[in-house]
C-alpha cells in the first residue's frame, strides 16, 4: 500500500485526466469588524480561552470564508469545490484549465494558483504552496512499548502524574478504523476524551469506518492506547480529535487543503497540539510534485498552513519523512519544513534509522528538529493486536504525546516556548546535525529543571523579572533582583540563537532586529527563565 506506514514508494502513471487542481483566492471576508468584536461567533469558548491564556491574537484569518462566494463558484459548469481554507481565504477546486481560468472574471477573486507547476508562475512574494506522505497517580505498564517511552523519559512524567490531562491533541491522518469499538481505546472513550472527528475527503462524521486505511489507528495508539498490564501510550489522559485528511490510495494536492481545513477546525475547537504523520513531496501527477529546493517552509500549501497553525498558538508535531535512503529526495518533506517541531527516527539503540529523512531545510534551518524511536516501535492495530512497525510516522506521535504530558505541567507555556524547551533538552542541542537535528529530548531533565526552579530561592527571584515595554520597538528594559546579573540569550521563533550576552544589567538594544516574535532567556547558575517578546 502506497506511502502510508513504513516507507513511501512512488507510483507513476502514463496518462492523466484533463482536470486540474487549483486554489482560488478571495479578496475579502464578510463582517470582519463585527466578528473580531464578538469572537464567540467564530471560535469555541475553549479556543478563545486557549488563545487568551497564551497571548495568541484573534485576527481576520479566524473569520470563515464567504459562503456566498463559494456558492457562486459551485454554480459554474465543470467546477468541483473540494475544500476551503479560512486562513488562506481560498477554496480548492478541480476542473478543466479553461473552466478554472474563467473564475478570474469574478470581481471577488484575487488570484488563481494551479497545483500543476507548468500552469502557475509562483512569485517569491506569494504567501506559499504543496508534497508526499504517510508516512491520577497510576502505575502504567508499557510492556513491549517500554523502550520507546523510556528513551524520552516520558515514564518519569507519568510517575509524577503528568499524563496529558487537560491537553487536547488533533490527529491528522489517513483513517481510524475501529477506534470507536477497540478495547485499546475503551479507557479513552469511557473518560469522554475521544472528543470526535471528521472525514474531510468523504465529508462524513464516520472517521472510524472499518474500510479506511488503518494508519491513523496505529498512530493514535502510540499516544492514547491503553491495554491493562501490557501497553500504555505517551499521553493516556489527553483528549483527542481525529481528522482524516489523507486519501491512502492516491496522492493529490487536495490532501494538503484537507489538512489545512482540519487545522483551522482544530484551532476553532481549542486544540493544543496537532500530530501529523504525513508528508508531501511527490504526487501521482509529476506536474504537481515538489523538489528538494521547495522544502523552504514557505513554498508548499500545507507548510503555509502549518506556519499559520503555529502563529495561532498550536504546537504542530510532524514526521520528518521516510526518504532518507533515497538518492533524489532525502530531505524532510512538507510540512516538516515549516515552523513546526519535525521529528526524525532512531533505532531502539538511539542510533539514526536509515530511512529517516534528513536536513537541513532548503533555506539551511536545522531539520529535523529532534528525534524519537521510529524503528521497531510497538503499537496496536485495528484488531487490538500488538504489532511492531517502522517509520517517522510513529516517532512523531510518540513525541507529541510526551509533549502533551509535559505541557500539563505548565499550560501557560506558549507553543514556541515549549518547542524551545524540548530542543534545549535534546542530546545534541549544542551540536545539531542533519540526521537527528538537536537530538533525542529528555523529559526527565525538563521536569527536574522546572522543579528546581520552584524550589530554588534564586530561581524564585527570576520569576520576579519584569520586562517592558512588550511589544518593544528598540530598547527592552527589565527589572530584576538588585545586585544580581544574569546571562541572556535571544532566540528567534525557530530556536536559532541570535544574541548572547553575559552579566546583563537592566536593558538590551534590539535596534536592527526585524519585526516578529522572539524568546529571551535569562540564566544564572543552574536556574533559567524564558519570556516571549514581540518586536514592533
State the catalytic residues: 173, 215, 393
* Cβ proximity of 243 and 169 under 8 Å: no
Q: Position of cell 500504555? A: 232
Give the long-range contacts of residues 444-449, CB within 8 A, separation 24 or more: 444/153, 444/156, 444/157, 445/153, 446/406, 446/421, 446/422, 447/156, 447/157, 447/160, 447/162, 447/406, 447/409, 449/528
Q: What is the 3-state secondary structure (H, E, C) of 362-374?
A: CCCCCCCCEEEEC
Distance in angstroms (rounded) separating the CA atoms of residues 382 and 228: 17
Q: Is 59 exposed, middle or buried (0-12, 13-18, 19+ CB in 10 A)?
A: exposed
**∠ at Cα 412 (270, 194), nearest 5°?**
35
Tell me the angle at which helices 443-455 and 415-425 cross, rounded to the nearest 10 degrees: 110
| Rounded Cα gap, residues 302 and 255, in angstroms | 9
CB atoms within 10 A of CB 409: 17
**Residue 261 in grid coordinates:** 481545513
State the Cα angle at 343 between 267 and 310, rounded to 5°: 25
C-alpha distance from residue 105 to each of 76, 97, 112, 113, 431 (Å): 12, 14, 11, 15, 54
Write the DSSP assignment of 71-130 as a string of letters: HHHHTSTTEEEEEEETTTTEEEEEE-HHHHHGGGGSTTEEEEEESSTTT----TTS--B-
How far apart are the C-alpha atoms of 487 and 218, rounded to whole Å?
A: 45
Q: Which residue, 316, 292, 320, is CA-closest to 304? A: 316
Helix (H, G, I), strand (E, B) or coil at 399: helix
Amino acid at each position: 500500500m502506497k506511502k502510508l506506514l513504513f516507507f513511501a514508494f512512488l507510483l507513476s502513471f502514463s496518462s492523466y485526466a484533463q482536470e486540474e487542481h487549483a486554489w482560488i483566492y478571495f479578496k475579502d471576508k464578510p463582517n470582519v469588524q463585527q466578528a473580531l468584536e464578538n469572537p464567540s461567533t467564530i471560535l469555541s469558548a475553549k479556543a478563545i480561552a486557549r488563545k487568551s491564556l497564551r497571548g495568541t491574537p484573534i485576527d481576520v484569518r479566524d473569520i470563515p470564508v464567504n459562503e456566498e462566494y463559494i456558492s457562486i463558484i459551485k454554480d459554474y459548469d465543470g467546477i468541483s469545490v473540494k475544500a476551503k481554507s479560512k486562513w488562506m481565504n481560498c477554496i480548492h477546486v478541480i476542473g478543466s484549465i479553461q473552466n478554472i481560468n474563467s473564475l478570474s472574471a469574478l470581481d471577488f477573486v484575487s488570484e488563481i494558483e494551479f497545483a500543476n507547476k507548468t500552469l502557475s508562475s509562483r512569485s517569491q512574494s506569494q504567501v506559499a504552496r504543496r508534497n508526499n506522505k504517510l508516512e491520577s497517580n497510576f502505575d502504567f505498564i508499557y510492556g513491549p512499548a517500554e523502550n520507546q517511552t523510556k528513551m524520552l523519559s516520558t515514564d518519569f512524567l507519568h510517575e509524577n502524574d503528568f499524563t496529558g490531562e487537560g491537553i487536547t491533541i488533533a490527529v491528522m491522518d489517513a483513517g481510524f478504523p475501529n477506534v470507536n469499538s477497540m478495547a485499546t481505546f475503551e479507557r479513552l472513550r469511557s473518560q469522554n476524551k475521544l472528543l470526535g472527528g471528521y472525514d474531510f475527503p468523504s465529508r462524513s462524521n464516520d472517521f472510524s469506518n472499518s474500510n479506511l486505511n488503518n494508519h491513523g489507528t496505529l498512530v493514535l495508539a502510540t499516544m492514547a492506547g491503553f491495554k491493562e498490564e501490557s501497553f500504555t501510550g505517551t499521553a493516556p489522559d489527553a483528549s483527542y480529535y481525529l481528522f482524516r485528511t489523507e486519501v491512502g490510495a492516491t496522492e493529490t494536492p487536495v490532501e494538503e487543503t484537507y489538512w489545512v481545513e482540519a487545522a483551522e477546525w482544530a484551532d476553532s475547537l481549542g486544540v493544543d497540539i496537532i500530530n501529523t504523520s504525513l508528508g508531501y513531496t511527490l504526487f501521482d501527477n509529476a506536474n504537481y510534485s515538489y523538489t528538494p529546493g521547495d522544502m523552504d517552509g514557505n513554498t508548499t500549501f500545507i507548510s503555509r498552513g502549518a506556519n499559520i497553525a503555529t502563529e495561532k498558538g498550536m504546537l504542530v508535531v510532524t514526521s520528518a519523512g521516510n526518504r532518507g535512503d533515497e538518492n533524489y529526495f532525502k530531505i524532510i518533506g512538507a510540512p516538516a519544513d515549516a515552523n513546526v517541531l519535525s521529528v526524525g527516527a532512531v533505532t531502539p539503540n538511539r542510533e539514526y534509522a536509515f530511512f529517516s529523512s534528513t536536513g537541513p531545510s532548503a533555506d539551511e534551518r536545522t531539520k529535523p528538529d529532534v528525534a524519537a524511536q521510529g524503528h521497531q516501535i510497538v503499537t496496536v492495530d485495528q484488531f487490538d493486536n500488538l504489532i511492531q512497525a517502522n517509520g517517522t510516522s510513529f516517532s512523531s506521535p510518540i513525541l507529541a504525546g510526551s509533549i502533551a504530558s509535559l505541557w500539563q505541567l505548565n499550560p501557560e507555556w506558549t507553543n514556541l516556548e515549549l518547542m524551545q524547551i524540548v530542543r534545549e533538552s535534546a542530546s545534541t542541542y549544542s551540536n545539531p546535525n542533519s540526521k537527528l537535528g538537536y537530538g533525542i529530548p529528555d523529559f526527565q531533565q525538563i521536569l527536574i529543571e522546572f522543579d528546581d526552579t520552584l524550589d530554588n530561592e534564586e530561581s524564585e527571584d527570576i520569576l520576579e523579572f519584569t520586562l517592558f515595554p512588550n511589544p518593544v520597538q528598540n530598547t527592552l528594559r527589565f527589572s530584576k533582583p538588585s545586585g544580581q546579573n544574569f546571562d541572556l540569550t535571544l532566540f528567534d521563533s525557530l530556536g536559532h540563537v541570535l544574541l548572547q550576552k553575559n552579566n546583563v544589567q537592566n536593558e538590551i538594544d534590539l535596534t536592527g532586529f526585524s519585526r516578529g516574535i522572539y524568546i529571551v532567556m535569562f540564566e544564572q547558575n543552574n536556574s533559567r527563565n524564558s519570556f516571549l517578546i514581540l518586536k514592533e
